[in-house]
Structure 1
Amino acid sequence: MAAAAHPLNRRSFLVTTGVAVGTAAALPAIAGPAEAAARRRPGKLTTDPFTLGVASGDPDHDGFVLWTRLALEPLAEDGLGGMPALNVPVEWQVASDPRFRKIERRGVAIARPESAHSVHVELNGLRPDRDYWYRFRAAGYVSPVGRARTAPRPDAFGPALAMAFVSCSQYEHGYFTAYGRLAEEHPDLVLHLGDYQYEYRADVYTVPGGNVRDHEGPETVTLANYRQRHAQYKSDPDLQAAHAAAPWLVVFDDHEVENNWAGPVPEAGSDTPDPDEFMRRRAAAFQAYYENMPLRRASVPNGPNIQIYRRVRWGRLANFHMLDTRQFRDDQACGDGYKECAAASDPSRSITGPRQEQWLLDGFRRSTARWDVIGQQVFFAQRDNNAGPAKVTSMDAWDGYVASRGRITQGWIDAKVRNPVVLTGDVHAHWASELKVDYDDPASKTVGAELVCSSITSGGDGADSDPAAHPFLKINPHLKFYNNQRGYVMTRIGKDELRADFKTVPTVRTRDAQASTKATFVIEDRVPGLNQTYLRPYVSGMEARAKRDLVDETVRNETQRP
């Protein structure tokens, strides 16, 4: 009996919408008695189990990871999605065309209750620098179709890479419209730099005008809590569209576990203040994170530990060094927040931990890529918010780990990295900055660039901003751009330049808002600075804020999260 095709999100660019999918071809043999038994007794699924969409990730020149998770009732309190406590065989197909006329690979994976019926298929042996399409089938139901892409061969540049990066999607604060707009841009690769989901119970973290929608369940502490919360986020159609559009590289920041956690140290005032209790919470968060992300087997958690920092090569064009700035960091100095803090410069302090730092420096030394891109979570450049002699900076960013930043910066200089670019999330606003060896010397040589994406929703609408009026840019001349609307950054990385378009949406309180480009910067090959080529004129719908209010807004946006 033929199964009807699963309808795609109406904004999806895929051309398979409405196409019927016939009976699957004969499946390859399933190895092992448990899998064979599951095939004989798949359990009865009475409704579509593909409610959480599909995803791909961690592309290589010959493959990528495919992901889905079965859930009949995504918001079930036990976190298991209303699924029967049975192993369920899930067929998968990869095709070289969007209508699946030419099937390149196929097989069966087993969705198991102990993994919340998540599926990870790690593929290799595909052709480099190609688009592929994939789908799943279980109990007669067919998933949406996703598009994946392989990287170029290690010795080839390939065409220019269309890469988007995003962060900070607080479900309660608005609709994920920016994800939908991103999907329409047909990127080749998406980087998510942290705060994919938030841990709070409903109405704890609120925005002016009130939250647009509510979290289900309590603050996430247990494995069931985290599974339920991920399922709520994955149920959003715009997020599903963005995952289906391209492969993702993901890293977490703090809210995937708990606000402002650091290594084994929970947040002050934590719901899990006991160190052992917090580590159990961390283990639950990491287990749910892996279950819900298109990650390779190398990232399977081991209790409260997970290997998330890794390097992905995009041919000779780019190395993506994806960092973990939470799991191995020293605790934030001086009680966190914006502080004048001598301990921030302590050379023994690290935001990466020594092992990851050495891994990154080794990667710089071995790199032959045109662009070395560091995908990470928190602001890298110095941001002093005091115009006087005191230096007042954020202890939760690299400013709280000055020596750590210095070692890594000097590392790419010593390794003669051709084009170092740092990509950042976390701060709920767009920024662009030039990176220095000595931020206190305006004449210090520029040695790199940092591009910071705004949030998808976190902080609510925000407002259009006049970069020239922001005092941070006057106090810190290496900071070149700021905007406080929601959105994402769309880049085009070629052999001669990296172009970054800072995209914004006017509101997250209604669906279907359109995105526009607020500013464009170009980084030229072997020229480690920023060239602004476009800035949309600032149009204010209200009286301009006083300088003090702008500073307060920035600090409040980053630090006053319950």
Structure 2
Amino acid sequence: MTPSRTSMAGPLRRRGFLGIAGAGAGAVLLGGGPAPAAVAAPPARAPRDPFTLGVASGDPLPDAVVLWTRLAPDPLEPGGGMPARPVAVRWEVALDERFRTVVRRGVEHAVPEEAHTVHADVRGLAPHREYHYRFRVGDTLSPAGRTRTAPAPGTAPTVDFAFASCANWEAGHFTAYRHMAEERPDVVFHLGDYLYEYAAGANGDVRTHVGGEMHTLDEYRRRHAQYKTDPDLTLLHSVAPFIVTWDDHETDNNYAGLIPENRDPAQGNDTTEHFAARRRAAYQAYWEHMPLRRFRKPVDTGLPLYRRFVYGDTATFSVLDTRQYRTDQPYGDKWQVSGPDQWDPKATILGEEQHAWLEESLTRSRATWNVLPQQIYFANWDAVAGEDDGGYNDGWDGYRVSRDRVLGHVAERGIDNFVVLTGDVHANWTNDLRRDFERPETPVLGSEFVCTSITSGGDGTGSHDPGQVYWDENPHTKYYGDRRGYVRCTVSRDTYTADYRVLDRVTRPDAPVRTDRSFVIEAGVPGVQTP
């Protein structure tokens, strides 16, 4: 019998687990130390601790999950301070925090060609079950992690998850990640801009990136390692499995396929070949540092990132990649410039193969909720008064035929309870979705929840008003908020609830979190409502 969530998450056990997960407490994890709640402070790390970047899990299935770590005693040094040879890494999965009931064990070999990362695909687990895991190299234990498998087909449990995007190291502290960890979601969707590629000092003065703008594999690896040293991000990874997709800053701002933002020789982007080498390095480092399965390891400049997760009969999540396969943005990617190029039938944001896959995924789904975790603003974004459509050309506005194809499929196939999750734009938005955004009398086909950034843009203004022109031109928009944070979602057979969780500051650490606005969608009733 699977224990209930309430039986596993009481206040005493939660505090104890978070204390251990952040501590790397080897003696306690062996089961011979005090009870978790009695841990007062983390012990000092061993001088050559290989687990400085923590642990993570991801891509949960009903019977499986990926366990991740990277061996890096000196994480910001070339090679992470590891010898240029394979290292055996043991892992184990248990039903309890003290690892008294271990249900799976195995060994992976961390190799220098993959930055000594581990991607253990653990199979044979029970559905919708909480597990605890850890790694061992020699006599050194990693911190412990908590993960959770997906629900089984034919079941319809309530699913709690969060989604986030846009974490810029220099712009602020990752306090929002710590608050997410305290809420212990079943899964976290990260919708891109997990890190930023810019040189030190380019994006703020709260903290400083190490090194210049990234181009080489060693540079991307070092930046990933720097982000993984953040204690709040490390904690969240140790508490919940991640399902990730990228946007642009994991490689290069506003790139499209093999087209960089700028053809700049100083940035190594002057030819397609040069940018392909940069993208190859970025994709390799991304796969190395994310809890992705081994078969997703990039080949040349490609990495198969779009994929489907079925959470019982409650929700189907079709995760998109809107960067790797897109054509170039229209009008030089200029903001609020519209015209016929936005309707170019040859333009695509998904590529034909991914688009056909999405249509099949939506058609095959038998779940109540059909959810698209993706990167870029989906609804029409018109900030120009009058008949001009305006538009955000790096988003779906720049690829209107692609968007119409998605919404047309939803309308024509009767896809119920269609919800799009979006990041990228550093503010909270809520939109109803119509096939024709210029005609508010047409049917609502679904809803879009747009999360703000974790830190990008700094503290924000606290405003809930993007300007009267925006309200006049976008009647499908129901909410706007300019603070940092994330969105917490609770999805059941009958309702989808989204809570916009915000922090009033990120330029200083330890800000409290609050719910700025909540929305509910009733199953079978398109459009958001205020509870």
Query: Would you call these one fold, judging by a TM-score over 0.5?
Result: yes
Residues 12 and 184 in structure 1, CA contact (< 8 A), matched pair in contact too? no
Residues 131 and 147 in structure 1, CA contact (< 8 A), matched pair in contact too? yes
Residues 93 and 107 in structure 1, CA contact (< 8 A), matched pair in contact too? yes
Distance 2:517 2:175 in 1: 19
Matching of residues 275-354 of structure 1 within 5 Å: 275-338=272-335, 339-354=337-352
SS of aligned partner of 2:486: strand
Distance 1:470 1:11 in 2: 49
Matching of residues 14-163 of structure 1 within 5 Å: 20-22=28-30, 47-76=48-77, 78=78, 80-157=79-156, 159-163=157-161
SS of aligned partner of 1:455: coil
Distance 1:231 1:493 in 2: 34
Residues 187 and 242 in structure 2, CA contact (< 8 A), matched pair in contact too? yes
Matching of residues 110-509 of structure 1 within 5 Å: 110-157=109-156, 159-206=157-204, 211-270=205-264, 271=267, 272-338=269-335, 339-467=337-465, 471-509=469-507
Residues 464 and 479 in structure 2, CA contact (< 8 A), matched pair in contact too? no
Amino acid at match of 2:231: P
Residues 92 and 134 in structure 1, CA contact (< 8 A), matched pair in contact too? yes
Amino acid at match of 2:48: T
Amino acid at match of 1:183: A
Amino acid at match of 1:123: V
In structure 2, relative to structure 1, the CA distance for the partners of 1:293 and 1:11 (3 Å cut) is farther
Amino acid at match of 1:85: A
Amino acid at match of 2:57: S
Distance 1:390 1:469 in 2: 17
Report how far residue 444 of structure 1 moved. 1.3
Report how far residue 468 of structure 1 moved. 7.9
State the partner residue of 2:7: none
Distance 2:494 2:162 in 1: 18
SS of aligned partner of 1:182: helix
1:444-467 CA-to-partner distances (Å, cap 9, x unmatched) read 110000000000001111121124
Distance 1:326 1:471 in 2: 30
Residues 369 and 417 in structure 2, CA contact (< 8 A), matched pair in contact too? yes
Distance 2:19 2:158 in 1: 21
Report how far residue 10 of structure 1 moved. 8.5
Aligned residues: 498
Report how far residue 337 of structure 1 moved. 2.2
In structure 2, relative to structure 1, the CA distance for the partners of 1:14 and 1:98 (3 Å cut) is farther
Report how far residue 341 of structure 1 moved. 2.5
Residues 14 and 145 in structure 1, CA contact (< 8 A), matched pair in contact too? no
SS of aligned partner of 2:526: coil
Percent identical? 47
1:137-168 CA-to-partner distances (Å, cap 9, x unmatched) read 113221111111111111211x2111100000
Residues 428 and 450 in structure 2, CA contact (< 8 A), matched pair in contact too? yes
Structure 1 residue runs of 5 or longer lacking an equivalent are 1-8, 25-44, 534-562
In structure 2, relative to structure 1, the CA distance for the partners of 1:10 and 1:52 (3 Å cut) is farther
Distance 2:220 2:467 in 1: 41
Distance 1:247 1:175 in 2: 21
In structure 2, relative to structure 1, the CA distance for the partners of 1:468 and 1:73 (3 Å cut) is closer
In structure 2, relative to structure 1, the CA distance for the partners of 1:12 and 1:454 (3 Å cut) is farther
State the partner residue of 2:42: none
In structure 2, relative to structure 1, the CA distance for the partners of 1:493 and 1:141 (3 Å cut) is same
Task: State TM-score, norm by structure 2.
Answer: 0.91
Amino acid at match of 1:113: P
Report how far residue 21 of structure 1 moved. 3.9
In structure 2, relative to structure 1, the CA distance for the partners of 1:268 and 1:15 (3 Å cut) is closer
1:229-283 CA-to-partner distances (Å, cap 9, x unmatched) read 0000000000001111111100000000000000111112441221001001101
Report how far residue 13 of structure 1 moved. 3.1
Report how far residue 98 of structure 1 moved. 1.4
SS of aligned partner of 1:120: strand
Report how far residue 526 of structure 1 moved. 0.7
1:21-55 CA-to-partner distances (Å, cap 9, x unmatched) read 4499xxxxxxxxxxxxxxxxxxxx95111111111
Amino acid at match of 2:58: G
Distance 1:66 1:389 in 2: 52
Distance 2:270 2:19 in 1: 47
Please provide the CA RMSD for this pair.
Answer: 1.8
Instruction: Pick the aligned partner of 1:13 from 1, 5, 18.
Output: 18
Residues 384 and 469 in structure 2, CA contact (< 8 A), matched pair in contact too? no
Distance 1:51 1:172 in 2: 21
State the partner residue of 2:8: none
Structure 2 residue runs of 5 or longer lacking an equivalent are 1-13, 33-45
Report how far residue 56 of structure 1 moved. 0.5
In structure 2, relative to structure 1, the CA distance for the partners of 1:404 and 1:468 (3 Å cut) is closer
Amino acid at match of 1:60: L
